Homo-oligomer: A and B are copies of this chain.
Amino acid sequence: MERLTATYHLRSRPEDVEARAAALATEQSLELPPSAVRDPWIVRELLGRVEHVEPVGADLFRVRLTLALETTGLEAGQLLNMLFGNCALQEDVELHDVEFPPALLAAFAGPAFGVAGLRERVGAWGRPLTCTALKPQGLSPQQLAELAHNLALAGLDFVKDDHGLANQRFAPFAERVRAVSKAVDKANRITGGRTCYVPNLQGSPEKVLEQACIAREEGVGAVMLEPMIVGLPFFHELTREVGMPVLAHPAFAGQRIRPALLFGKLFRLFGADAVIYPNYGGRFSYSRPTCLELAANARRPWGHLRPALPVPAGGMGLERVPEMKAAYGPDTLLLIGGALLSAGDGLLERAREFVERVAKG
């Protein structure tokens, strides 16, 4: 029976680690002491197996388990349950990495558009793509539309809703999407460009599907969701059915799952065409190696899965552009939000400068 490999980081005293690792293997599979299981094939095949334990720091160990593929039901929710169900409640455990055998990979669609699909949408090749966010909360649909119009005039590839724009009274989803979409279209007719507006979908599946319909009716080119809020199984279902590229936003992703795995592998597996994450040197504390590994995971050849576009973000400014281009290369979506918006009357000019700096060889 085929198995998948999950690697955990486990805090433990060295003298306890073997027993702790065995307990983890039981917790993440049978949840019953093997001695209490009557069917020998269940213990032989379905019990998690500790394959390797090695120290990686003081009282910190890397533990490789294998789990029987069949226990995942080849489905997103139960896969998460097997990888990090009960042990998510144990603070000494971090999910570090997962190796997906071909039979598991085959069960997931991955990005429906991927890097190439996103490039086609905006007609841009051979350079990083550009993106900014409409904010703050509180602006009316008309104010957001004006903002978007200027940003599209500047030639940005993507203008997305901030993740804080949901369906609030000051800018209800339908009105906002209609107004912004029109404003971006108008700017595109002026420039001959193809700026793509990306509304944020939020709420229960019923509401999100309604919002996706509205977005489609308005001719919007892509959408954004927060997979950890709406739920990864729903996210995966939606990416297969929505018919346009999906940007994944990291909000609520406070699990003890290594970012390079969660954003680089799992979000991609479940269909994210682009993966937004907090870049090093911004308002968040991810390290440079973490971010580069995340980006590498998002783009590397991986079975039938299209590559996803990494979107380093979170407090980036224009001065970071050359360094980010050098670090990430062309298949990257550079997202600068606040640093553009804080230009006030100089918004159009600063947005143009962003576009030019990215285009510059």
Contact = CB atoms under 8 A, between A and B. Distances in A.
Interface residues of A, number: 82
Given A70-B170, A168-B70, A251-B85, A135 B32 contact: yes
Contact of A139 (B29, B39, B202): B39
Contacts of A31: 135-136, 162, 164, 337-338
A36 B80 CA distance: 40
Nearest to A34: B136
A300 B232 CA distance: 32
Interface stretch (A119-127, A233-241, A328-336): A233-241
Given A77-B203, A163-B81, A226-B77, A135 B255 contact: no
A161 to B, nearest CB: 12
A252 B88 contact: yes
B231 A229 contact: yes
Contact of A251 (B86, B167, B229, B252): B86
Contacts of A323: none
A75 B207 contact: yes
**How many monomers of this chain does the complex have?**
2
A205 interface: yes
A42 B137 CA distance: 8
Contacts of A230: 77, 231, 233-234
Contacts of A254: 84, 88-89, 254-257
20 contacts: A33-B342, A36-B341, A42-B136, A45-B138, A46-B137, A70-B168, A71-B168, A73-B202, A75-B166, A75-B204, A77-B230, A81-B226, A85-B164, A88-B228, A204-B236, A207-B233, A231-B231, A231-B233, A252-B255, A254-B256
Given A27-B283, A73-B168, A73-B203, 7 more contacts: A32-B341, A71-B164, A77-B166, A81-B202, A81-B226, A88-B228, A254-B257
